[in-house]
Amino acid sequence: MADMNHDVIVGAPEWCGEQWVNRQRRPGDTKDWGVVSLYHTRWSGGGEGTVAVVDIGGPVEFRAICTDSMRLAEWAMKMIRDHGNNYDPPLPVVLAQFSSGGDTTVEPTWTIRAEGHAVIARWKVTEPPIALVGDWAGDRKYGFSLLAFTYDADIRIDGRLIEGKPYERDIWKALLKTDKMMSSCCFGLAETFGKKEGNVR
């Protein structure tokens, strides 16, 4: 067998799963009008399950941390705050049901049912995903993600399409080593990060 150029990293994962981000903003606004930021978790210090930040304004307003595991939600809230997603006042934590739909390679969706509401977030894949590998997750950490960005995305609540559209964000420039602005709507598959204790080879 031919030699393979790769690293074997020693270090337990801190989080592994999928992250789905859908941020909608109305023209001229400086703040988001609708947000679904969902963490479908397979491995973490809080176990597995799903947690989603839902922040929707307008006629049908709904703001909450939705989860199917209170243990995971407690753990995830610290991770969400550490990534700069702070809400003041804090959003209530509510139990929810989650279901994914569509073809992930074409037009995936997530449906969140909580507190009498049904929220559906949609992404349409318009560009090939980007593989992100290395120490991007922070000091002495390793990380991997398969990132897909799109400007064709929306959010519905109780059948109503919320106002707003995806918009350009500059937060990805340093991470992706590009001058290109990226969309506010994206998802990361097979996402993993953890503490890097060293390399076996």
Tens digits of pLDDT across the chain (201 residues): 455 566 666 677 888 999 999 999 999 999 999 999 999 999 999 999 999 999 999 889 999 999 999 999 999 888 766 555 555 558 899 999 999 999 999 999 999 999 999 999 999 999 999 998 877 555 657 788 999 999 999 999 999 999 999 999 988 777 777 888 899 999 999 898 887 776 544
Long-range contact set of residues 94-99: C-beta below 8 Å, sequence gap at least 24: 94/64, 94/65, 94/66, 94/67, 95/66, 95/67, 95/68, 95/70, 96/50, 96/52, 96/66, 96/67, 96/68, 97/68, 98/38, 98/40, 98/50, 98/52, 98/66, 98/68
Instruction: Provide the b/e sequence for 101-126 (b: ≥16 CB within 10 Å).
Output: eeeeeebbbbbbebeebebbbbbbbe
Other beta carbons within 10 Å of 50: 25
Are 183 and 162 in contact, with CB atoms under 8 Å apart?
Answer: no
CA pair distance 136, 155, nearest whole angstrom:
29
